[in-house]
Amino acid sequence: MTAQMTAATTEYDVIVLGAGPTGENLADRTRAAGLSTALVESELVGGECSYWACMPSKALLRPSAALAAARAVAGSREAVTGKLDTAAVLARRDSFTANWKDDGQAAWVAGIGADLVRGEGRLDGVRRVVVRTPEGGERVLTARHAVAVCTGTRAVLPAGVPGLAEARPWTSREATSAKEAPARLLVVGGGVVGVEMAAAWQALGSQVTLLVRGSGLLPRLEPFAGELVAAGLRASGVTVRFDAEVASVARDGAVVTVRLDDGTELAAEELLYATGRAPHTDGLGLASVGLNDGDWLSVDDHCAVRGVEGGWLYAAGDVNHRALLTHQGKYQARMAGAAIAARALGRTVDPAPWGPHVATADLTAVPQVIFTEPEVAAVGLSADEARRAGHRVKAVDYEIGQVAGASLAADNYQGRARMVVDLDREVLLGVTFVGPGVGDLLHSATVAVVGEVPIDRLWHAVPAYPTVSEIWLRLLETYRDAE
Amino acid sequence: MTAQMTAATTEYDVIVLGAGPTGENLADRTRAAGLSTALVESELVGGECSYWACMPSKALLRPSAALAAARAVAGSREAVTGKLDTAAVLARRDSFTANWKDDGQAAWVAGIGADLVRGEGRLDGVRRVVVRTPEGGERVLTARHAVAVCTGTRAVLPAGVPGLAEARPWTSREATSAKEAPARLLVVGGGVVGVEMAAAWQALGSQVTLLVRGSGLLPRLEPFAGELVAAGLRASGVTVRFDAEVASVARDGAVVTVRLDDGTELAAEELLYATGRAPHTDGLGLASVGLNDGDWLSVDDHCAVRGVEGGWLYAAGDVNHRALLTHQGKYQARMAGAAIAARALGRTVDPAPWGPHVATADLTAVPQVIFTEPEVAAVGLSADEARRAGHRVKAVDYEIGQVAGASLAADNYQGRARMVVDLDREVLLGVTFVGPGVGDLLHSATVAVVGEVPIDRLWHAVPAYPTVSEIWLRLLETYRDAE
């Protein structure tokens, strides 16, 4: 089964295109099953997440969050007499990205016994991959069982904004890897990247203005999430402008000027555009297997690509557009890797929801944490989403600051929680927490939603006193007393 | 059903002895069911927890934890150039105890429509309570349905230590309410009170020595919990001495001297004894209903006292010795209050485990957080307890510092997690987290244990990246790969 895996090998059981967290996890699963595996990567092993997304963004955000927490408590507040050390934060960020070197991750790939093939990979028909090597040559690889596309996404700039490309705006890559704080930073986009980078660079010394097309931030989440984040950003000094449509952009040397539809002109040293992502499938040879280059790859719950005969082509992670989050890509990779291995080894692939070969949680229980101040942590459906999906729903809210544990954690704690209950089954469809430090509260909700733990049983899950987790008791009481 | 409830009323549906969190919650439930309820309290409404335990202890501990978290991260560390402000911490503690005044809590009792009866209550036969009022008189109250004992515990000093009583040692009450930090503090006892107060006063400026009879701290928890807490205490400057048996104590003015069995003499300004608790049942008139004053009250899962005919006597909270924790007392109060109300209203009392009238979690899923540095958060059975209970068990450990989210949260994060799996049912019996800030991670484990969520399903509960919660993924992987 296992081929001898040297650089000269051209036939593998499994070929994985893209060595980000998703590709790495998929290869880990196929290797664990004894399948020879090639991992093709044109940039850094470890992917967007390790170098230009999750890791550097959280490294930029964590020190100011830690400082804010110390400032929020009488007694420790008095000890914080200095300022955030921007140079130290940036140096720490650099260490988390290993200074944008991937030796450690390449060694990890070797450690699991997969072959790392550097270069641009593209499909060239059924179970066949052509890799353009860094040296300019081509290598042809064939897969006995499966090819998995884990190439993720890239930032895209909107078309039709005059001067935008010429102004050399930052995307998420430049925003997470910048070597110093610009004096002024304009951020366009009220999604996760926009709010996190606005928070980070404001804390690191920039004067940040956040420009949002719509009337609120984080539109996919419960409305109060965006409202509390907007209030937090403003309290930190960020200028937040809603209904702001960019008409044109111009750069003049060190200064970039953004002109809005209403004629307002805003100047800054840097401009971050965080308004959209596109699948990294251009130039991927999808036409050779009957698909279209540049499209998102539509998959079933095993992550097998729809419309491709023979079940040999998989797509996991952001590129399949199910849930554009690193942890969800890793999850899909575990499930897809297990499904690929089962098929390759002639075992049954289990199609049952919540089984070992399906990414069921993508449909109902995707968790997300946004590391602003306050933090946002949400899983499952919002109240609106649940109603639109046809559920009979009750949503209950509670101010987290009313919980003893929260008042101990921070003076004047501001935050809110919402629990969305399916009235027919009396289980949770979704939970949202917004407040300082709520990120690690989320997993309690994720277990409850995924575990389909009934409300009656949740009453027996006693939160330790006095922790912030007692918000659970308050939500249950509010639900009970609203009946 | 509802009697008119004035101070003159002598007959109630339910009489609750003790207005700590347990008594308050029980009264809340009986009042919600429309039962007239008297709440008898000889000290402050709100009980030990509000004035001399959970709240002040956590108020003493939180500021130094917040400061430690800021110091643990390069970038914010540099901003912490001052010291913890002990006076500010103590003032904040005072605000959390409302300066040991209970007006707010008394108003809450009035708000739920219960009668607060101040004075020492004692049983005087079946469904009859005598209250010695603060003015020295006596009031006789009778209960149509139930009397609930929620009187908690008090600290006890060990007998047979010469000089101990005369040395006027601190108990948990003085340790949580002291108005200044003693220069030197000796703490005897390696349980929760001992370790938390050692941590608190060391941070607040005392030179603390912790004397422990046995060879480790926190003996009921996983052994690594005590080991990591001991390391944390030592790192903060506390001297920890194991196998330390106190032979005698003597106070000479401002200095108390402790002599150990091995002849060592230790001097300090204050001595905290935190070695044991006794039920607050002395003088409670238990003999009038066939029980013994001073005993713990043994109860069934509805919290009905065993050995008392007619099912009218209940005991909830610490006094029943099921689980000596505020949150667990409140939980028992909810269940017992619901059971009392069901019986009083002629409804069925549901004896099924995990039902609305039984405190099932007391037996299998008690959560606890210890607010030291590192924090300890545990729920359910330790590996040893599970094996002794006859389960076929696998316990898996993982270093929390290896999780990306933990390395982002603190430089050089030190912590460990253990998951105890029932191999026959493939559900969790217990989980322990030890590390900075793990307190609010615990509820994820509590939901998993109480919800009896199978391991197969927990794989679909995806932890958000990069949070500390990804410890869950590592524990599941470790369990899988150890098979």
In this prediction, residue A9 has a pLDDT band, given cuts at 50, 70 and 90, of low
What are the Cα distances from residue A151, in Å, to A110, A284, B452?
Answer: 20, 9, 37
- The B residues from 24 to 63 touching A (CB cutoff 8 Å) are 49, 54-55, 58-59, 62-63
Torsion of CA A16, A21, A25, A26, to 10 degrees: -30
**Hey, of A335, A460, A469, which one would you mutate to test binding to chain B, going by the most B CBs within 10 A of its CB?**
A460
Residues in chain A: 483
Mean pLDDT of A369-374: 98
Distance from CA of A124 to the nearest CA of B (A): 34
From the list A409, A442, A444, which residue is nearest B464 (CB)?
A: A442
Mean pLDDT of A132-159: 96
| Rounded Cα–Cα distance for residues A60 and A205 (Å) | 12
A284 and A148 within one domain? yes
B472 contacts A354? CB cut-off 8 A:
no
Distance from CA of B96 to the nearest CA of A (A): 8
From the list A54, A437, A469, which residue is nearest B465 (CB)?
A: A54
B271 and B283 within one domain? no
Task: Confirm if A185 and A178 have CB atoms less than 8 A apart.
Answer: no
Query: What pLDDT shows up at residue A221?
Result: 98
Q: By C-alpha distance, which of B19, B51, B22, B43 is closest to B115?
A: B19
Task: Confirm if A366 and A380 have CB atoms less than 8 A apart.
Answer: yes
- Neighbour count for residue B8 (Cβ, 10 Å): 8
A258 and A195 within one domain? yes
B339 and B417 within one domain? no
Locate the chain B residue with the closest alpha carbon to A89: B75
Give the count of domains, chain A. Answer: 3
B280's CB contacts (< 8 A; 6+ apart) are B18, B151, B152, B153, B154, B319
In a domain, residue B88? The reply is no
DSSP secondary structure letter of residue B264: -
Which CATH number do you get for residue B407? 3.30.390.30
User: pLDDT tens, position by position, for chain B (483 residues)?
Assistant: 344 444 456 999 999 999 999 999 999 999 999 999 999 999 999 999 999 999 999 999 999 999 999 999 999 999 999 999 999 999 999 999 999 999 999 999 999 999 999 999 999 999 999 999 999 999 999 999 999 999 999 999 999 999 999 999 999 999 999 999 999 999 999 999 999 999 999 999 999 999 999 999 999 999 999 999 999 999 999 999 999 999 999 999 999 999 999 999 999 999 999 999 999 999 999 999 999 999 999 999 999 999 999 999 999 999 999 999 999 999 999 999 999 999 999 999 999 999 999 999 999 999 999 999 999 999 999 999 999 999 999 999 999 999 999 999 999 999 999 999 999 999 999 999 999 999 999 999 999 999 999 999 999 999 999 999 999 999 999 999 996
Task: Confirm if B302 and B335 have CB atoms less than 8 A apart.
Answer: yes
Tokens of A67: 């400082």
**Hey, of B334, B469, B474, B475, which one would you mutate to test binding to chain A, going by the most A CBs within 10 A of its CB?**
B469
Mean pLDDT of A363-372: 97
SS3 B337: helix
Query: What pLDDT shows up at residue A2?
Result: 39
Say yes or no: A403 contacts chain B, CB-CB below 8 A: no
Pairing of strands B138-149, A313-315: unpaired
B472 contacts A325? CB cut-off 8 A:
no
Sign of the dihedral through C-alpha B4, B10, B12, B15: positive
Tokens of A348: 């049954």
**Hey, of B93, B440, B480, which one would you mutate to test binding to chain A, going by the most A CBs within 10 A of its CB?**
B440
Sign of the dihedral through C-alpha B115, B116, B117, B122: positive
B92 contacts A76? CB cut-off 8 A:
no
Say yes or no: B427 contacts chain A, CB-CB below 8 A: no
Mean pLDDT of A47-52: 96
Select from B319, B338, B361 the last residue of a domain. Answer: B361
Q: What are phi and psi of B397, to 5 degrees?
A: -115, 155
Task: Confirm if B369 and B376 have CB atoms less than 8 A apart.
Answer: yes
Mean pLDDT of A353-382: 97
Query: What pLDDT shows up at residue A19?
Result: 98
A54 contacts B325? CB cut-off 8 A:
no
From the list B69, B82, B334, which residue is nearest A69 (CB)?
A: B69
- The B residues from 182 to 221 touching A (CB cutoff 8 Å) are none
SS3 A253: coil
Task: Confirm if B199 and B209 have CB atoms less than 8 A apart.
Answer: no
Kindly state the helix (H) or strand (E) to which residue B29 belongs, with its residue range.
helix B21-32
Query: What pLDDT shows up at residue B462?
Result: 98
Query: What pLDDT shows up at residue B277?
Result: 95
Tokens of B97: 């105890």
- Neighbour count for residue A91 (Cβ, 10 Å): 13
Pairing of strands B277-279, B153-155: antiparallel
| Rounded Cα–Cα distance for residues A289 and A279 (Å) | 17
Say yes or no: A478 contacts chain B, CB-CB below 8 A: no
SS3 A380: strand
pTM above 0.80, yes or no: yes
Tokens of A74: 């009488």
Select from A222, A247, A275 the last residue of a domain. Answer: A275
Locate the chain A residue with the closest alpha carbon to B204: A75
Kindly state the helix (H) or strand (E) to which residue A149 belongs, with its residue range.
strand A138-149
Task: Confirm if A433 and B404 have CB atoms less than 8 A apart.
Answer: no
Q: Contacts of residue B437 in chain A, CB cutoff 8 Å?
A: 437, 440
| Rounded Cα–Cα distance for residues A355 and A109 (Å) | 27
A340 and A288 within one domain? yes
From the list A55, A84, A354, which residue is nearest B457 (CB)?
A: A354
Q: By C-alpha distance, which of A433, A428, A422 is closest to A365?
A: A428
B477 and B414 within one domain? yes
Chains A–B, number of C-beta pairs less than 8 Å apart = 294
Say yes or no: B367 contacts chain A, CB-CB below 8 A: yes
**Each residue's pLDDT tens digit, A76-96:** 999 999 999 999 999 999 999
A261 and A123 within one domain? no
SS3 A198: helix
Q: Contacts of residue B355 in chain A, CB cutoff 8 Å?
A: 456
- The B residues from 330 to 359 touching A (CB cutoff 8 Å) are 330-331, 334, 354-356
Radius of gyration of chain A (CA): 24
A171 and A137 within one domain? no
Distance from CA of B343 to the nearest CA of A (A): 20
From the list A88, A437, A457, which residue is nearest B450 (CB)?
A: A457
In a domain, residue A21? The reply is yes
DSSP secondary structure letter of residue B300: -
**Each residue's pLDDT tens digit, B13-43:** 999 999 999 999 999 999 999 999 999 999 9
Residue type for A14, please? V
Q: By C-alpha distance, which of B85, B258, B268 is closest to B183?
A: B268
In a domain, residue A159? The reply is no
Pairing of strands B427-435, B375-380: antiparallel
Which CATH number do you get for residue B218? 3.50.50.60
In a domain, residue A89? The reply is no
A406 and A355 within one domain? no
Task: Confirm if B223 and B216 have CB atoms less than 8 A apart.
Answer: yes
**Hey, of B366, B467, B480, B481, which one would you mutate to test binding to chain A, going by the most A CBs within 10 A of its CB?**
B467
Task: Give the strands of the sheet with A255-260, arranged side by side.
Answer: A246-252, A255-260, A265-268
Query: What pLDDT shows up at residue A354?
Result: 97
- The B residues from 77 to 96 touching A (CB cutoff 8 Å) are 77-86, 88-89, 91-92, 96
B477 and B418 within one domain? yes
Q: Alpha helix (H) ranges present in A72-171?
A: 86-96, 103-111
Q: What are phi and psi of A479, to 5 degrees?
A: -65, -45
A88 contacts B77? CB cut-off 8 A:
yes
B115 and B21 within one domain? yes
Query: What pLDDT shows up at residue A143?
Result: 98
In a domain, residue A476? The reply is yes
Domain assignment of residue B389, given as a range: 374-481
Q: Contacts of residue B372 in chain A, CB cutoff 8 Å?
A: none
Sign of the dihedral through C-alpha A442, A443, A448, A449: positive
Say yes or no to pLDDT of A466 above 90.
yes
Kindly state the helix (H) or strand (E) to which residue B430 belongs, with its residue range.
strand B427-435
Query: What pLDDT shows up at residue B4?
Result: 40
Mean pLDDT of A243-255: 97
Q: By C-alpha distance, which of B170, B222, B181, B189 is closest to B64?
A: B181
Select from A228, A246, A275 the last residue of a domain. Answer: A275
Say yes or no: A105 contacts chain B, CB-CB below 8 A: no
In a domain, residue B127? The reply is yes
In a domain, residue A235? The reply is yes
Query: What pLDDT shows up at residue B360?
Result: 98
Q: Contacts of residue A472 in chain B, CB cutoff 8 Å?
A: 443
Whether the ipTM is more than 0.90: the answer is yes
Query: What pLDDT shows up at residue A131?
Result: 97
Cα A191 from chain centroid (whole Å): 11
**Each residue's pLDDT tens digit, A400-441:** 999 999 999 999 999 999 999 999 999 999 999 999 999 999
A22 and A142 within one domain? yes
Query: What pLDDT shows up at residue B9?
Result: 66
A481's CB contacts (< 8 A; 6+ apart) are none
Vertex A113, ends A43 and B405: CA angle to 5°? 60
| Rounded Cα–Cα distance for residues B107 and B98 (Å) | 13
Locate the chain B residue with the closest alpha carbon to A69: B66
Cα A336 from chain centroid (whole Å): 19
Mean pLDDT of A461-477: 98
Torsion of CA A62, A64, A65, A66, to 10 degrees: 90
